[in-house]
Structure 1
Amino acid sequence: MTDTVHPLNKLMAERISRIVDLNIMGIDIIAKSLEIPLQDQVCGILEVNAAPGFRMHLNPTIGTSRNVGATVVDMLFPPGSKHSIPIVAVTGTNGKTTTARLISHILKTNGNKVGMASTDAVTIDNVPILFGDYSGPEGAKKVIMDSSIDYAVLEVARGGILRRGLGYEESDVGVLLNISSDHLGEGGMHTLEELTRLKSTVTEAVKETGYAVLNADDPLVLSRIDKVKASPILFSKEPDNKAIKANYDKGNVNVILKNSIITIEKKGYSLPVENVCNIPITFDGKAAFNIENVLAAVASSYALGLDIKQIRKGVISFTPSMDYSRGRMNIIDMGEFKVVIDYGHNPGAINATGEFIKSLMPGKKIRMASSVGNRRDQDILEFGSALAKYYDHIVICDPDQRHREIGETADIVKQGLISGGFKNNMITIIMDEREATKTALEMAKSGDLVVLQVDNLEQVIKDVFDFKEKLKKFTVA
């Protein structure tokens, strides 16, 4: 309202605002003048607009230009009020989703409302609002625009950065987990060094007052430490790591595995968080890949200001179950054998999880492998060769051919398996994922382990539990 509007008309407009319950509104009035009370003239209110236009106020045909937008912003965000959401961004080749989920869980467990974008969905306060791969800027946008959240946790994938950037200007915490060969040859990325430079955008786009969390056990990750403007927090499974010692000497924070205990260290203090054996997703400390993810999540949570008690509460209550970590190292007991559902789909993931998976059951290791068609031939060959080191039989399917012919990817995986020492009778090719899942499950004997690398996660989960019910009925009969 301008200063020429009569005080009684102003009071009437404020009353209408309270009745309609809108603090920003436009009221369309037909009257001779607003400089005299409306009750003293023939007039009427035409409508109330919930989204009034500003143009006629900023650039009126007649009269003085008034910056009503500034007034609205000052009302919505008074000086000194909270006006931004703390952002945690997580990237790397493997472990992004698990780490983002764990950070979100730690925050949520301590009473915060968290928005998360990942390769699976956009979730607000643990409720999925969008399904699909939202590890790019569109996911970041959907999370950050929700003013109800206390924190934004964003999984950031290579493709999103290449195509459209990060989706935010700066974060409060940026995490770089690891770098290994994946998607090389796409988007101008041909070497690991180029991939590292791309992914390190996440740690370089952290506020100077924020923290860059880096894996000190990965030389490629560590090579980018001098590029960050934020305070570096290093994490490592090796307390004697030279980079860890150098970071400590500079007065920075480290998160390390010390005598099987996750420990936060800085000059002047050492804070034990929890023994890894008590953290469910490390599987009694046997899953080294998830120990790294825990170290990163602890470092991120500490950077956000959570204390040891709060962090411990989160890490010990996060389980590798369908509820907390769907599609990531979920183990299902089928009775005489077990099934693992896991998304790992590149050589780095196969090598990182291989020894742990071999230790789960004494019998044969059977894997249904799929969905690597958008990699280079040499990467698919390497994927097959990596599988050959840890498994006794591979069922190859190809539900998403990407740009390839049907069966082309499967044939390349087979070549990789054979080059890794597999025989033809150790390989089964079935294009349909559901049929491949059924075949792998039917192969299993007592003591065996079936690992399912899935594309259609929900369908495969349903099929596995349906198969389990059939086994129960057969056993009873």
Structure 2
Amino acid sequence: MKKKSMLYPGAKVAVMGLGISGRAAVRYALRCGAEVFVSDNRQQEKFLAEEGAFLAETNVLWEAGGHSREFLRRAELLLVSPGVNLHLPLLSELRDDGVKIVGELAVAAGQMDVPVVAVTGTNGKTTVTTLIGEIFASAGKRVFVGGNIGTPLYEYLLHPQDYDIVVAEVSSFQLESAGDFAPDVGVLLNVSPDHLDRHTSMDRYVAAKMQLFVHQQPGSVIIINGDDPLCRRLPPALSANVRTFGKNDAPSALIGDNRITLLTDSTREEYQFAEMGQLNDITLMNYAAAILAVRAQGCTHAQILAGLQAFRPLPHRIEFVAELNGVSYYNDSKATNTGAVIGALAQFPGNVILLAGGRDKGDDFRLLRESVAAKVKKLILFGEAAGLLADALTDLVEVLPARSMDEAVRTSAKNAAAGDVVLLSPACASFDMFTSYGHRGNEFKKAVSALQEESA
């Protein structure tokens, strides 16, 4: 049953930041009849150059060059994007002024007439969200795939009649401002240190992830990684049904021998992947989570298999790039935290030349020590966090510096022997040297391609 919307005719609503999410929020708030204000950090000249057409189309009040209390306090409701830190002093002042501060999940809560599957976790969110969406699509459903993956949920709210089901990737930042958002199926893939520069502690980071489950109702489903102790740290008194995936402790989806065995509701289903080649453990864990999610929404064994077989892995995730002089090059640029790097290194028997570095997010790089000692023969470091990584690991492995991605790749080639693996798995954000992890991964692939051309 729908609840009363936060956005209603005459409501005074402010939108903080006019990015992709902000523009969608403005359109939806106007559709609901609200009076809308926009506040943006960009300098006025730049803001008008980039958003002038949108401002003219929507005719909203706006300010640029920073966010002011005087402008925003006139609102009853402030809609923030995931990138806005909820602990900013300005937001505390606005709360004191009586302004309610929420994100898109809180706005969407109770406004969706179709089933909702929501996926979170430190690593693998985009892959599993995309996979679930593709399985539903192959089963004939009109599926909306959005949230943190790139398309705001506001876009669904603007066109709800077009869809049969919603699949949303949700981040810890979004869950902090999620209100009473409650998916029909909530999936938690894994938890390892990430974004601690914002969350400040692992306890707060885990608590943010667990917000996915706290408002679920009886009959809804919780899916967690049973092998991950932090995923098992569920809040008390949950009313949803809990299902697990993994290799241990009698999971609902058992992983092993290149297959997944579903063991729920007194049934046993086998998903064999021999025809798809040998899959690594990370892929099998992602597949298991997706299978449990779509099975909970009625997809058949045949529909799931068809969706899995049609799915193509996303780029920048342990992506094979090339083999050159017997050395294999892999692009894992999406690995922006230590947990992802540990998972990537586990997929190789050893002899890895690891390329790492970038912008630190508050991670503890000492968590890499065991994996690096076991698998890495040389460590090539670049970017702002190179010194921190070296401090944590230099006693375990030879460390070589690089000032650019091209230099990192060339250094790795000079130090590699046949049978080695060169792995870009940075453990850091990309924004010191690149515009995104995708840009970083593409530069790695370009550098490897240049080596191939020179070798030819």
Shorter-normalised TM-score: what interval?
0.5 to 0.7
List aligned pairs for 1:304-315, cutoff 5 A: 304-315=297-308
Specify the alignment match of 1:356 in structure 2.
Answer: 347
Q: Which amino acid aligns with 1:297?
A: A
Specify the alignment match of 1:106 in structure 2.
Answer: 135
* Match among 394, 409, 420 for residue 379 of structure 2: 394
**Contact residue 246 and residue 254 of structure 2 kept, 8 A:** yes
Pairwise CA distance, 1:431: 4.1
- Over residues 311-340 of structure 1, what are the superposed CA-to-partner deviations in whole Å (9 max), with x where a residue is unaligned? 1111223233xxxx1211111223432211
**Contact residue 405 and residue 447 of structure 2 kept, 8 A:** no
Q: Compared with structure 1, are the counterparts of its residues 90 and 264 closer, same or farther at alpha carbon in structure 2 (3 Å cutoff)?
A: same
Quote the Cα distance in structure 2 between the aligned partners of 1:167 and 1:115. 21
Pairwise CA distance, 1:87: 1.8
Quote the Cα distance in structure 2 between the aligned partners of 1:355 and 1:458. 22
**Contact residue 214 and residue 222 of structure 1 kept, 8 A:** yes
Pairwise CA distance, 1:300: 0.4
Quote the Cα distance in structure 1 between the aligned partners of 2:165 and 2:358. 33
- Over residues 410-438 of structure 1, what are the superposed CA-to-partner deviations in whole Å (9 max), with x where a residue is unaligned? 1111011124x12xxx2122343454345
Specify the alignment match of 1:209 in structure 2.
Answer: 219
Specify the alignment match of 1:237 in structure 2.
Answer: 247
Number of residue equivalences = 338
Specify the alignment match of 1:172 in structure 2.
Answer: 184
Q: Which amino acid aligns with 1:255?
A: A
Runs of 4+ in 1 over 6 A off after TM superposition: none
List aligned pairs for 1:282-301, cutoff 5 A: 284-285=278-279, 287-301=280-294
Quote the Cα distance in structure 1 between the aligned partners of 2:184 and 2:244. 16
Q: Residue 319 of structure 1: SS of its match in structure 2?
A: coil
Specify the alignment match of 1:270 in structure 2.
Answer: 268
List aligned pairs for 1:139-178, cutoff 5 A: 139-147=152-160, 148-162=162-176, 165-166=177-178, 169-178=181-190
* Match among 445, 449, 464 for residue 421 of structure 2: 449
Quote the Cα distance in structure 2 between the aligned partners of 1:83 and 1:190. 33
Pairwise CA distance, 1:258: 6.3
2:351 pairs with 1:371: no
2:438 pairs with 1:440: no
User: What TM-score do the two structures reach when normalised by structure 2?
Assistant: 0.65
* Match among 313, 317, 333 for residue 328 of structure 1: 317
User: What TM-score do the two structures reach when normalised by structure 1?
Assistant: 0.62
Pairwise CA distance, 1:141: 3.0
**Contact residue 97 and residue 118 of structure 1 kept, 8 A:** no
Pairwise CA distance, 1:213: 0.9
Q: Compared with structure 1, are the counterparts of its residues 181 and 83 closer, same or farther at alpha carbon in structure 2 (3 Å cutoff)?
A: closer
Q: Compared with structure 1, are the counterparts of its residues 380 and 86 closer, same or farther at alpha carbon in structure 2 (3 Å cutoff)?
A: same
2:309 pairs with 1:316: yes
Pairwise CA distance, 1:443: 4.4
Q: Residue 382 of structure 1: SS of its match in structure 2?
A: helix
Quote the Cα distance in structure 2 between the aligned partners of 1:180 and 1:459. 24
- Over residues 372-398 of structure 1, what are the superposed CA-to-partner deviations in whole Å (9 max), with x where a residue is unaligned? 51215xx13434664344211222122
Q: Compared with structure 1, are the counterparts of its residues 104 and 438 closer, same or farther at alpha carbon in structure 2 (3 Å cutoff)?
A: farther
Q: Percent identity?
A: 22
Name stretches of at least 5 consecutive residues in structure 1 with no aligned partner. Answer: 1-23, 25-50, 52-81, 124-138, 245-253, 399-406
Quote the Cα distance in structure 2 between the aligned partners of 1:85 and 1:271. 27
Q: Compared with structure 1, are the counterparts of its residues 259 and 381 closer, same or farther at alpha carbon in structure 2 (3 Å cutoff)?
A: closer
Specify the alignment match of 1:190 in structure 2.
Answer: 201
Quote the Cα distance in structure 2 between the aligned partners of 1:157 and 1:294. 20
2:395 pairs with 1:410: no
Specify the alignment match of 1:122 in structure 2.
Answer: 150
**Contact residue 203 and residue 228 of structure 1 kept, 8 A:** yes
Q: Residue 427 of structure 1: SS of its match in structure 2?
A: strand
Q: Compared with structure 1, are the counterparts of its residues 332 and 260 closer, same or farther at alpha carbon in structure 2 (3 Å cutoff)?
A: closer
Pairwise CA distance, 1:444: 4.0
Quote the Cα distance in structure 1 between the aligned partners of 2:404 and 2:414. 15
Q: Compared with structure 1, are the counterparts of its residues 234 and 275 closer, same or farther at alpha carbon in structure 2 (3 Å cutoff)?
A: same
Q: Compared with structure 1, are the counterparts of its residues 334 and 461 closer, same or farther at alpha carbon in structure 2 (3 Å cutoff)?
A: farther
Q: Compared with structure 1, are the counterparts of its residues 106 and 183 closer, same or farther at alpha carbon in structure 2 (3 Å cutoff)?
A: same
Quote the Cα distance in structure 2 between the aligned partners of 1:171 and 1:296. 15
Q: Residue 408 of structure 2: SS of its match in structure 1?
A: helix
What RMSD over aligned residues (CA atoms) do the two structures have, in Å? 3.2
Q: Compared with structure 1, are the counterparts of its residues 473 and 256 closer, same or farther at alpha carbon in structure 2 (3 Å cutoff)?
A: closer
Q: Residue 202 of structure 1: SS of its match in structure 2?
A: coil
Structure whose alpha-carbon radius of gyration is higher: 1
Q: Compared with structure 1, are the counterparts of its residues 296 and 462 closer, same or farther at alpha carbon in structure 2 (3 Å cutoff)?
A: closer
Specify the alignment match of 1:79 in structure 2.
Answer: none
Q: Compared with structure 1, are the counterparts of its residues 288 and 469 closer, same or farther at alpha carbon in structure 2 (3 Å cutoff)?
A: closer
**Contact residue 219 and residue 240 of structure 2 kept, 8 A:** yes
Quote the Cα distance in structure 1 between the aligned partners of 2:445 and 2:335. 21
**Contact residue 237 and residue 292 of structure 1 kept, 8 A:** no
